[in-house]
Amino acid sequence: MAGRLAAADHAVIVAFLVERMAKRAGCSRTKGTIERDDCPALFQSACEPGISVNDYAMRLKARFGCSEACFVLALIYIDRLAKMHTGISVNRLSAHRLLLTSLVVATKFHDDEYYSNTCYAKSGGIKVDDLNAMEAGFLRLIGFATFTTPEEFSSYVQFCMLAARECPF
CB contact at 8 A, 160 and 10: yes
pLDDT surpasses 60 at 6: no
pLDDT surpasses 90 at 34: no
**What residues contact 15, with CB distance under 8 A and at least 6 apart?**
53, 54, 56, 57, 58, 99, 169
Compute the average pLDDT of residues 26-37. 41
pTM (2 d.p.)? 0.86
pLDDT surpasses 80 at 74: yes
Strands 28-30 and 33-35: antiparallel
- pLDDT at residue 24 in the model: 83
**What are phi and psi for residue 33, nearest 5 degrees?**
-115, 165
Give the mean pLDDT of the chain. 87
- pLDDT at residue 87 in the model: 82
| pLDDT above 90 coverage of the chain, percent | 71
- pLDDT at residue 23 in the model: 86
CATH topology of domain 2-164: Cyclin A; domain 1 (1.10.472)
Residue 30: which H helix or E strand, with range? strand 28-30
Compute the average pLDDT of residues 45-72. 94
pLDDT surpasses 60 at 32: no
Compute the average pLDDT of residues 70-95. 93
